[in-house]
Each structure stands twice: as structure tokens, then as C-alpha cells.
Copies of this chain bind each other. A is one copy, B any other.
Amino acid sequence: MALHPFDPISDAELRLTSKLIKDNTTGPFKPHFVQIDRDDPPKKEMIKYLQAEKKGLPLPRIPRVTHAFYYLDTTLHKALVNVSAAHIITDVALPKGVQGPLLADDLADIEALATSHPACVAEIEKLKLPDHIHVVCDPWMNGVDCKEDRFLIQCYMYLANANHPESNHYSLPLKFSPVFEGLSRKFVRMDYLPAGIDEKTAPTQPWTEFPLVEYHPDLNGESLRELKPLIVEQPEGPGFKVTGQKIEWQGWSFYVVPNVREGFAVYDIHFKGRSVIYRLSLNEMTVPYGDPRAPYHRKQAFDLGDAGFGATGNSLGLGCDCLGVIKYFDNRRTNREGEPVFIPSTVCLHEQDHGLLYKHVNYRTGHAVVARRREFAVQTIATVANYEYAVNLIFDQIGEIKIQVRATGILSTMPIEKGLTVPWGTNVGPMVMAAYHQHMLSFRIDPAVDGYQNTVVYDDVLRMEPNTKLNPYNVGFYTERSYVEKPGYVDQSPFTNRSYKIINENVINPTSKKPVGYKIMMPARQMLMASPESYNNKRAQFATQQMWVTKYRDGELYAAGEFTNQSQTDTGVGLWSKRNENVRNADPVVWATLGFTHIPRPEDFPVMPVEIHEIHVTPFGFFEKNPALDVPQSNNKFNKSVYYDDATSGAKSGAGSCCGKSNL
């Protein structure tokens, strides 16, 4: 089967990309690859392709293009390669100081150095550790607090149980941290970490106490609870159809495509034959810390731009991460040499039940109409060192897409002396503190609500003028709509019930007599706390507001810009939102910042119960009435539920009356 323009990069294309670059490289240095992936086809061309596809017409040829980031010596290059015609389109050296994302293979080398380099060995010896305790390392991007051209890696160091490979990596942070050059592996300096109530640091001393906080079942000392199995079964098979990357389910059709940076993106989303969204994905995330003291002020991971959610994607386990009948998609990344590394099962797809969809009982007759809410989940889970993020796009039967993020994994920790506390962190163990931080995720929504001419609006709910002929009892309220004409952002306004919508002003809903639209529901949130003068703020403008709108341009995909590692400033939404262009009834792109300030609690350690955050993208006047009236009514012949058996505390079957009666 010929490759679809949306299809992910193949092993052959990845190899071809690196081979062409290697063949084209002269001089003493070999390319050191850090990322290779497929680029999106140009939107204008792709729209023509999709329209031809729908009409069964001959398909236009769109060359498949990949990009490669690679180093020659310490200079980062970006190449664009036409892999259909096997030639390099462009290959440019980027300015000094621009760095690429971190490659797992390189980080592994540096991690090893952090406990073997003489400067580190010397420091470790000062600890005078017993045999059962060893030093482990988390290599981090250095972050930014000044102009810096070198690609630096900050190695955070911890103590763990040497006798078990799954001893908690993070419960005993050390107070020194070596910094290496990422490419040459040169030792640069030893940083010292404050562990008191202020910014002062101290020389390394022997450790005598090791109050580790363990989570692994072999080590955590817990007796297991009893849990009875709960099986999700689909005896007639699942209700979704997969053709290549294309999914069809309950009136939806869309393409789910893994990629190394975002985990996956979803393209060409249609519901009941009408277009909704051209492209939807998590596109960036930044996690700045609120501990003001060096070096923590530089702790600001850009987990997608600096690492990549696909590159760090978990290989999901059947029955562990996903329940029921599961389809998996795979991913692949490059290694240093430009060879593909296969990452199986990074995206899982499956149906699930989520309670009631709708119900009404006619109390006069007791007759009920009731349908259950079946959903279709697309999930990926990325492990970025300590943290895990499960990103779900959940489709339902009425045309709604629920964007859901579950943060879990392990808090990033700082050392603290026994007995002390600080106002910018929570003690989560005897000698370990978890600093306050924020998770600021950017979801990029390239809408196509009933077509490609869309407008972003927001509606406020306001009180009517009191004591008028119309409103003599002072109870009236109404909505007022505002239009986003130029790129920029929309202020939050929870107390006017402000809601953001994407509408098509050219398509009027015959029932409501208003333009068709989709609503983007997001609760009001505290945004970036780092002050405007800080690097953290300048590098991540997207995190200062909840709702951004820019005008579509090919290649503008990542909210903080293409190269985030050690970036000096925002080269993304911060710039694009300032352009003086028209975005009304045009091709706008929405960047929704799903943010949450994380004040850690002890319950979040040693491993964090998921914190769940959502954005709902839901029809708003897109349909003339409820589009799920065609969902079959719920009944127990279909659902096969059973009664709890009081006699045995077990289960007993019962036909069960269908669909409840009411008594009023």
C-alpha cells in the first residue's frame, strides 16, 4: 500500500535521510543525529489531496519530506530531505547557542560519567557511603540564566539502595551536581545545591542516615490489599475500524499518527461527514519550578522540545495501561548514527464506557429513554526522567473530544536538612523536599469547523440592566459575543462565564440561527508565575495566557518555537501572536494552555496518584439537535450486568427490568 501523506516516517525513510546527509558531509566531523522525523505536508496541498480522496478522484502527488537535527562538532544543523525523490532540500547550520533536543543515547553516556568522572568520584568519596548505598544520576537540560553557547547537561545526583535496581531514585537528593558539556563530555563545573532555608550552600560532608522512601513492591514494606478482577470484555469484538493510520468509530474518522516530538498528532477529524479539526496535538509543555535558589531557577524542562514525547514514549502493556480490546501504534526515533530505534506500542486505542450519555424519564408513564456514553480513547504515556504524563484524546458519541492529561510518576526533589521546612516546597520524606512547580501544557488546535474559514470568538454572560420594563424583577442575563480579529490572546474571565468558541461565520445553524461552532471548555487557571523579566517567562510566552490565536502558517507547530533547549527567548507563539494580520473568517490556529500549579503533598510521594486535567472541545450549535439520538437504547440484554448477592457478598444474575421507572 502506497504511503499516505499523513503516514509516519518509515525505517527506510529514516535511514535514507541520514544516509543522504552523511554522504553530503565533508570535513573531519561525522553527523551526530539527535532527531529525524517526517514533516507535515503543506496544508494547502493536503487539503486538495483530502478533497480528492473523499471524491474518489486521482490523488495529487505530495513529496514526503523529513527533517533532521544533527551536530557537526558543536554546531547544530537542520536539514530538510525529500525522501520521495531522495534529495536534500536544505541543510543549514544554526546560529551559535541554538541547541537540539536531548538524545537518550547521549544522556546515557553522561549519566555514566556523573559517577565515573574523577571530579565526581572525588566528590562521592567525601560522602563515605556504606556498601548498600550508591549514587545515581538524573541528567537534565541545563536551562538558561544568561547567554550560553555550550550545550550543557546538569546532573542531579541522588542516593539509592545499591542492592535493588528499582530503589527510588529520588528520595535522597545529594547536594552537589556536576555539569558536563553535552557533546564533548568535558567536565565543566561542580554546582552545589542549597539544602537549608535560604540560598547558601555547603561543602560535601559524609552521610550517615539513609531514610529512603520506597515505592517498589519489593521494597515498600506494604501488605497488598485484596482486589477482585474487573474485566472489560467485547465478546463481538470492538466497534472501531483501523485502516493504516485511519480510525473510524461511531461517526468519527481521523488519522492518528505517532511522531517523536508530540507522541502523536491527530489529523483530518470528521464527525458524521463534517469536518471539525485539521490537526490536533499536544505541542509543548514547560514545567518551571518555584524554588528561587540556584540552580533550581534553571529547572524548566520543555518536555517536548527538549526531549520529545514520542522519543520518551512508554511501550504500553496490554492490560496494564489500557483495558479491553486494544490496538497499538508504534513509533521510531533515530540514534546518533542515524539508524532507526523501534519503540513499539507507544499509542493505544480502545473503547471504554463512561456512564450515562443521556436519560429522561416521563414521570407520568415511568417510561425512560436512556443511552450509555461509549468513548474511544487514544492514549500515549511519556516518561520524562521522573515524571510520567498520560495524554488521552477521548472521542464520544455526540461529537465531543475530551483532551485529558494525567500527571503521575515521581516528583522532582531537592535536598533538605532534617527538621527544616521552606515556604516554596513540601517535605515528602525526612531529608527530601519537593519544590512547588507548574505544569503548563500547550494544545494546538488547527480547526476546520465545517470548512477552513473559521473565526475564534468568546462569549460572556452578563446581567441585564436592572429595573427596566424588560427586566423589572432584576433576574435577567444575556450573552455578549466578542470576535478575535488579530493574532493575540484572550483574557480569562471565569466570573462572566467566558467561553471560547471556534465558529464558521459562513454556515448558519437553521435552528439556532447562529453560526455553527465548537466550544473549548477550560476552567480558569493561574498562569505562569515566573516574572516577565525572568528567562523562564521570556522562553515560554505561551504559558502566560490560557488562549492564544495565531494565523496559520506551515511549520508553525510548537508553542515555544522549534528549538527550546537552552533557548534565550520564545521563537513560537510569543512572536507569531504579534503579527498584524487578520484571523477572522480566515485560517486561525488556537493554542490552548492547560496549566496547573502543583503544590506537592506527601501523598504525591514516592509515586504520585494521577492528577487529571481536561479540556473539552464540544459542539456548540454545530448540530440542529442532539446528534446521538441514533445511539441504541441501553438494555441489560446487551450490557449483562448482575446483582450483588447479599447472601454471599458475591454476584447473582438477574434479567433486570430495563430502564428505570420514576415515581413523581
Contacts and interface: CB of A to CB of B under 8 A. Distances in A.
Interface string A11-51: 00000000000000000000000000000000000000000
A477 interface: yes
A342 to B, nearest CB: 9
B478 A643 contact: no
Interface in A399-414: 399-400, 406, 408-410
A185 to B, nearest CB: 19
A215 B533 contact: no
Counting every copy of the chain, the complex holds 2
A656 B315 CA distance: 11
A374 interface: yes
B626 A292 contact: no
Interface in A477-526: 477-479, 492, 494-497, 499, 509, 511-514, 519, 523-526
A2 interface: no
Interface stretch (A92-100, A316-324, A547-555, A561-569): A316-324
Nearest to A199: B470
A329 to B, nearest CB: 11
Given A292-B473, A475-B288, A627-B603, A390 B356 contact: yes
A233 B640 CA distance: 8
Contact of A478 (B165, B307, B333, B423): B423
Nearest to A609: B398
A301 to B, nearest CB: 13
A529 B602 contact: no
Contact of A628 (B398, B609, B632, B659): B609
B638 A362 contact: no
B463 A217 contact: no
A242 B648 CA distance: 10
Given A228-B239, A597-B461, A626 B604 contact: yes
B662 A314 contact: yes
Given A608-B626, A625-B605, A534 B473 contact: yes
A310 to B, nearest CB: 10
B511 A242 contact: no
Label chain A's interface by main secondary structure: loop
A133 interface: no
Interface stretch (A176-184, A377-385, A447-455, A581-589): A377-385
Contacts of A104: 363, 663-664
B319 A641 contact: yes
Contact of A475 (B231, B236, B297, B641): B297
A256 to B, nearest CB: 13
A224 interface: yes
A442 interface: no
Interface in A340-382: 341, 343, 345, 349-353, 355-365, 367-370, 372-374, 381
A516 to B, nearest CB: 10
A424 B626 contact: no
A661 B360 contact: no
A226 interface: yes
A475 B345 contact: no
A169 interface: yes
Chain A interface size, as a band, is 35 or more
Given A231-B234, A408-B360, A638-B319, A225 B630 contact: yes
Contacts of A604: 626
A478 B291 CA distance: 8
Contact of A436 (B165, B479, B621): B479
A102 to B, nearest CB: 9
Given A461-B436, A461-B599, A625-B606, A369 B217 contact: yes
A639 B114 CA distance: 41
Contacts of A514: 421
Interface stretch (A57-65, A118-126, A425-433): A425-433
B363 A629 contact: no
A664 B311 contact: yes
Interface string A599-638: 1011111111110000000011111111111111111111
A107 interface: yes
B603 A292 contact: no
A314 B663 CA distance: 7
Contact of A325 (B367, B477, B527, B642): B642
Contact of A166 (B251, B367, B406, B635): B367
8 contacts: A165-B364, A165-B365, A231-B232, A234-B651, A289-B475, A328-B643, A360-B409, A421-B513
Given A231-B235, A424-B478, A461-B526, 16 more contacts: A199-B469, A225-B251, A225-B631, A229-B234, A229-B640, A231-B233, A314-B662, A315-B657, A315-B663, A320-B634, A358-B409, A398-B603, A424-B477, A463-B531, A519-B601, A603-B621
